[in-house]
Structure 1
């Protein structure tokens, strides 16, 4: 599929204990010689994709995704975060323009706020850092005001929970399994998804893990 900016991602949703045999696709549009939005959506449909992640809230793509039964993740772009964090009216307008205009015909299920904000050490990114959570909260308030409750606005995961240093216990509502760290959750999600696909006995090895100390800067990890 030369020139098509479509990357696969896992569709396991731990919080709802939902799995699907359908693939998910990251739909990026930075590049040249890319297919049109119409062609791209047709490719998704031909692949029987179950979910697609957009890196913005492109009107043409959202219209084309209407009545396709594809679950859609849209994104508040980095340059919109500060203004949304500062003003609830701005957040309400964003939800009106980018969600209500297409929902529910387009099955918007997740709103992501920013892209790789914390992994960049640039001055522009650093200016956004302190506005990230307030922007997420304002978007959530806007959704609740419209009584929209089946669209998720992902929340932060405890750093200690990710680093195996937490006393927090999370009970999965679907399986009843109790987790004390994010690594076990992620491994179980892979095992569970592979089992559902008919590959229950594939051994897994962790080749690399860690926590970034400076994002992508010089590729350094701790």
Structure 2
């Protein structure tokens, strides 16, 4: 969430991640974090990398190709998502040379020393209809640029907000609103994951009359939603499975899924408290690093990135400024166990 948009208000009580038959699934042995930099008091890039290493955080998402951050990540072993900004899509979509230049400037110099796993082309592009026409061409051109640079091991995808679904409850009825066939074919053809943002927080905040805090915070001991025999005890799983159902409906049941954003703010609304943020994020880590998976894809770890590493005081709203696990002085906002 560069801006949080996972609040599809249509669904009331459900969602998560897993498969009913064997597929290749994205690695999820360590938790990831989203490293935003919209603060006037950020620590140095080397201090951030040291923080990640000492806290056993094995993955990081950069929203843009920040060369100083990539330099600091050299030889760290940390897996990295590098973002192509929405403001770059039109140029890259219309010019293969521009895509080649982006890869040669931002990826190739670091490819031997930084563990760049994914390139995320744009962010929640379907929430900005003016950019949708550039998304798939930009993805294709970045893919070609990686091939030209002999870097095909890096996978190309694009992160989606929950609003890309026209229906998400119950999870088995998950369906896309816009035509996603081109994007999904690209992912399937290139062995890339579907990148999804999953925010039970927004669903709970906006639907407290129909969604319980226990369901949103992974605290339900009993099944809350029985979806044709698939039992859901937490909203995260239900949301993940609604994406998977949507992919199944358009003929792509086996594309792996990576949760590129999930989190809970510690301030900024009536349900954004330190206690709820601590509960959600600790339970999220425990869940996604286990082999529980989701009812549709059981017995899998779920590659997941928590939004966000830091509280960022230059974000747009008070709520957005308090998603951080740490203050920018590197002190924890609340205790977090980053191991399963």
- Same fold at TM > 0.5: yes
Partner of 1:168: 251
SS at match of 1:44: helix
| Two-structure CA RMSD over aligned residues (Å) | 3.1
Cα distance in structure 2, aligned partners of 1:97 and 1:189: 38
Larger mean Cα displacement after TM superposition, 164-173 or 108-117: 164-173
Larger mean Cα displacement after TM superposition, 66-75 or 26-35: 26-35
Cα distance in structure 2, aligned partners of 1:147 and 1:75: 19
What's the CA shift for 1:23?
1.3
Q: Does 1:67 align with 2:75?
A: yes
Partner of 1:193: 301
Q: Does 1:39 align with 2:42?
A: no
What's the CA shift for 1:98?
0.6
Contact residue 92 and residue 99 of structure 2 kept, 8 A: yes
- Unaligned 5+ runs, structure 2: 1-17, 159-182, 186-241, 257-292, 303-340
Instruction: Normalising by structure 1, report the TM-score.
Output: 0.65
SS at match of 1:126: coil
Partner of 1:7: none
What's the CA shift for 1:26?
0.8
Larger mean Cα displacement after TM superposition, 147-156 or 79-88: 147-156
Cα distance in structure 1, aligned partners of 2:248 and 2:143: 29
Contact residue 70 and residue 114 of structure 2 kept, 8 A: yes
Change (3 A) 1:186 1:111: farther
What's the CA shift for 1:18?
4.6
Higher RCO (Cα < 8 Å, 6 or more apart)? 2
Cα distance in structure 2, aligned partners of 1:29 and 1:162: 34
- Unaligned 5+ runs, structure 1: 1-11, 120-124, 174-184, 195-222
Cα distance in structure 2, aligned partners of 1:95 and 1:67: 20
Equivalent residue pairs, number = 166
Cα distance in structure 1, aligned partners of 2:41 and 2:35: 15
Cα distance in structure 2, aligned partners of 1:87 and 1:29: 29
Cα distance in structure 1, aligned partners of 2:62 and 2:98: 21
Contact residue 25 and residue 300 of structure 2 kept, 8 A: no
Cα distance in structure 1, aligned partners of 2:252 and 2:131: 31
From 131, 141, 145, the counterpart of 2:144: 141
